[in-house]
Chains A and B, each alone.
Chain A
Amino acid sequence: MKKSYLIESIMFLAGGVIFMAAALLTDTVLDSLFVGFASGAVCAGIANFCRYFYWKAPRNAERYRERLEAEKIEMHDELKVKLRDRSGRYAYALGLGAVSVSIVIFSILGQMEVIGNSRLIVLYLGGYLVFQIVVGHVIYRHMLKKY
């Protein structure tokens, strides 16, 4: 197993400790958020740490090699790549639809005074919608240029 996984684990643990220290040593409204970040980072670090030593053990070397090989095949398998691309396209289209519907719903809720600050939410969603469409278009044109 690559040494970078061990370094990654140590970095996660260090990040967790830093966030925990920030939460304990300061007294701000962000404390609970810092504790959340710290817990997440420490758990991820410990999990990676255990995984590293488990797969690094000589008795697991062969199984690890097979696993890597299988992962590589899965990653580059052309049918799965094609299906991943297609599912991404559907998710993109559904995402645009969901954001558009949300804009309408938040506008109505705002007008009916069911929620406050609806203008901010609608503006944010509108911006996000435009961003998605523009980025999709730009990436498409960029990729087309390569052919």
Chain B
Amino acid sequence: MKNRVEELRKELGMNQEEFAKAIRVSRQTVSSIENGKYNPSLDLAFVIADFFGKTIEEIFIHERSIENEKELSD
């Protein structure tokens, strides 16, 4: 699953440590999410989405959903 966490975090001018503190997780978790190595739980995805003032779908992009949309539009 791709995500825009890094991009949105940088837009706010925060480093990983500050962002991790703000959403109450470890810096390693933020780093793993940004690298796409770890998909957060629904709870944490909501926390992240709330933090950026966006919906989950605007931040986390499910690749299979994109493929399905492409198939439907083709």
Contact = CB atoms under 8 A, between A and B. Distances in A.
A95 to B, nearest CB: 27
A134 to B, nearest CB: 31
A69 B41 CA distance: 21
A79 B38 CA distance: 8
A79 B32 contact: yes
Q: Is the interface of A mostly helix, strand, loop or mixed?
A: helix
Interface in A71-106: 73-74, 76-80
B29 interface: yes
B25 to A, nearest CB: 5
A37 to B, nearest CB: 37
Contacts of B38: 79
A68 to B, nearest CB: 13
A43 B41 CA distance: 42
B24 interface: yes
Interface string B20-53: 1100111011001000001011011000000000
Contacts of B44: 78
Contacts of B28: 77, 79-80
Contact of A80 (B21, B29, B41): B29
A7 B46 CA distance: 41
A78 B25 CA distance: 8
B41 A78 contact: yes
Interface in A6-25: none
A122 to B, nearest CB: 43
Interface in A48-80: 73-74, 76-80
Interface of A: 73-74, 76-80
- Top-9 shortest CB links A-B: A79-B29, A77-B26, A77-B25, A73-B24, A78-B41, A79-B38, A77-B29, A78-B44, A79-B32
